[in-house]
Structure 1
C-alpha cells in the first residue's frame, strides 16, 4: 500500500477534543494502531495492507501528527493523547479493540489501558517506553532543546536536507534499518506535519517539553492489574529502547504472554518488516 492508496482510505471524525484523522481498511473486529512522536499512522501502512482482508484495521493520527490538526488551546502531553484515544473510541463506538502500538504510542497505550481497561480485548507493545525510561537517554538531548525553545532550527534543517534526514546516523533515518530505501515523499509524510510550519513546530516542541516519567509511573498500578492478553514484539537494534524493557513489561503485566525479538530490527521495524510482525499478531489474536 503506497502513500496515495493509504490516504485514499482516510476519514475524519469529530471528537470532544477536536478532529482526528484516521485510515480505515477492512471489516470485522477492530484492531487499532497507534504511532509514536514525530511519525503518524503511515508507519502502519504495510501492516494494514496485509491484515485488512481479515479485520477492520484503523490507524489514527494523534493531534498535530499526520492529518490531525493540533488545537491551539489544546494540551500537548502523553496523558492528553491517551484521552484523545478514548475520545476517538467513544466517537466511533469502539469497544473490545485489539490495540497495537509503536514508539511513544506504547507509552500512550499504557496510560490509556490503565485508565480504560474495558476498551481493549488485547494489547501489543512494540519498542516503547517503560517504567521510568521517559524521555529515553538517546532522545534526551532533543527534549532538552524543546524545553529551551530551540527545536525550530533543527526541525527546519531536517526538511531542508532530506538526505541528512535519511542518513542512518542522523534524524529520522537513524530509526530505520534501511533508511536508504525511504523515498523523499515518505520522509516528508512523517516530518512535514510536525515540522512544516511554525505552528506545527511549536506544538511538537510543547509536546516534547512535557515528557515526564511521572505520567508513565502513574499508569503503572493499572498496568500491573491488566489481564488482557499482551504481546511484546521488540526490535533488537533500537537506539532508544533496549530489549530489557520488553522483559520488564512482560514481568509487570499479568496478561503478558511472551516477548518476540526481531533480530536487527530498529524502532520503526513495523514499517520495514511488517511481514515478520503480522504472523505474530495473527497468532496473538487467535
Structure 2
C-alpha cells in the first residue's frame, strides 16, 4: 500500500481570518457539504474545508492506505502543510470519527471539537455503504455511483427530502464521474474497520478538549440513540439534538449549526 496523496495536492476551500477551524466531511461527501457554513463561520474564524482523499477534487489512488489511522495522519500532515500548529475541528460522520482520533492522539494540536453525528459508536458499517465492501456487488455499486445512486442516497441522508434538489445532486455527483474515484471510495469502504465499543469508550474517556455534539433527531444513517451513548461517555460535551434533521445537520439546519459552532468556539477558545 502507498501513502495517501501529499497534502500539497489536496483541494480545499478557505475563508476568513482568526483562530483556525478545520471542517472534515463525511464518507462519500466533500467540502461541498460545508457550502452553507463557510462564509458565516469565516466571519469569526479562519475556516478550511479540505476534500479528504479520495473525495471531491483531491487525488484518488487505488493503492493508498485509507484506514482511519492513515486518514488521521494525513489530516495532521495537511495542518503541517498549512503551518497550523493548533486548530479546532468540526467533523460530520466519518469526519467526526477522524476528529476524535486526532483529539486523542494529538491533544496539543486540537483545541476543541464540534462533532456532527460522528461515526464513533458504530457496531457495523452503515448499510448505505455496505454494498461497496462486497467483492462482486461492490464493483457494480462503484460503477453506479453518480447520478443514479446519489439522489437515492441523499434522500436517506437528509430528513427533508425537498432539500434534494438537482443542484445538490450535481454537487455530490460531479466528483464521481471519475471512475478511478469511484473505485478508490470502494477501497476506502473495504478498509474501514469498526472499533469494538469497549475501545470506543476508552477513546472517549481520553478526550480532554471541550466538545459539542450535534445530532439530527431523524438521522437514518447513525440513529440518535448513538448520540446519547456518546454523550454519556463524553461528559464535557454540550449536546444539541435537532428536530426534523437527518444525518447532515450542517446542510439541513445550517443557521442553527453555525450559531452553535460560533457560540461554542467563541467560549471555548477564549478560555
> TM bucket by the smaller chain?
0.7 to 0.9
1:92 is matched with 82
Runs of 4+ in 1 over 6 A off after TM superposition: none
3-state SS, counterpart of residue 118 of structure 1 = coil
- Paired with 2:104 and 2:57, the residues of 1 have a C-alpha distance of 27
Shift of residue 158 of structure 1? 4.8
Q: Is the 8 A contact 1:237 1:265 kept in 2?
A: yes
Q: Give the corresponding residue for 1:57.
A: 47
How many angstroms apart in 1 are the aligned matches of 2:94 and 2:198?
A: 14
Residue of structure 2 equivalent to 1:179: 161
Distance in 2 (alpha carbons) for counterparts of 1:152 and 1:173 = 23
8 Å CA contact 2:23–2:48 kept in 1: the answer is yes
Deviation at 1:35, TM superposition (A): 0.4
Q: Would the aligned equivalents of 2:132 and 2:189 in 1 still touch at CA under 8 Å?
A: no
Q: 2:255 aligns with which of 271, 275, 279?
A: 275
- Unaligned regions of 5+ residues in structure 2, if any? none
| 1:30 counterpart (20, 36, 40) | 20
Q: Deviations over 1:149-188 (max 9, x none)?
A: 4234334445344xx743xxx3222211333334434323
Q: Does 1:242 pair with 2:229?
A: no
How does the TM-score come out when normalised to structure 1? 0.83
Measured on the aligned residues, the alpha-carbon RMSD in Å equals 2.4
Instruction: Give the distance between the partners of 1:157 and 1:230, measured in 2 at CA.
Output: 38
Q: TM-score, normalised by structure 2?
A: 0.87
CA–CA distance in structure 1, aligned partners of residues 147 and 115 of structure 2: 33
Q: Whole-Å Cα distance in 1 between the matches of residues 122 and 168 of structure 2?
A: 32
**Secondary structure of 2:239 counterpart:** strand
Paired residues, number? 263
Q: Which of 112, 120, 125 does residue 135 from structure 1 map onto?
A: 125
- SS at structure 2 position matched to 1:46: coil
What are the superposed Cα offsets for residues 29-51 of structure 1, whole Å, 9 maximum, x if unpaired?
Answer: 11110001110111111111212
Q: 1:253 offset after TM fit, Å?
A: 2.6
Rate the CA distance shift 1:156–1:74 in 2: closer, same or farther, 3 A.
closer
Shift of 1:81: 1.2
- Structure 1: unaligned runs, 5 residues or longer: 1-13
Which residue does the alignment assign to 2:212?
231
Deviations 1:121-166 (A, max 9, x none): 1101111222343413x43xx42442324234334445344xx743
**8 A contact 1:107–1:129 mirrored in 2:** yes
Say if 2:133 and 2:190, in contact at 8 Å, map to a contact too: yes
SS of residue in 1 equivalent to 2:245: coil
Distance 1:88 1:132 in 2: 27
How far 1:96 sits from its partner (Å)? 2.8
Say which SS state the counterpart of residue 267 (structure 1) adopts. Answer: coil
TM-aligned CA deviation for residue 261 of structure 1: 0.6
Q: Alpha-carbon deviation of 1:16? A: 4.5
1:212 aligned residue (193, 199, 220): 193
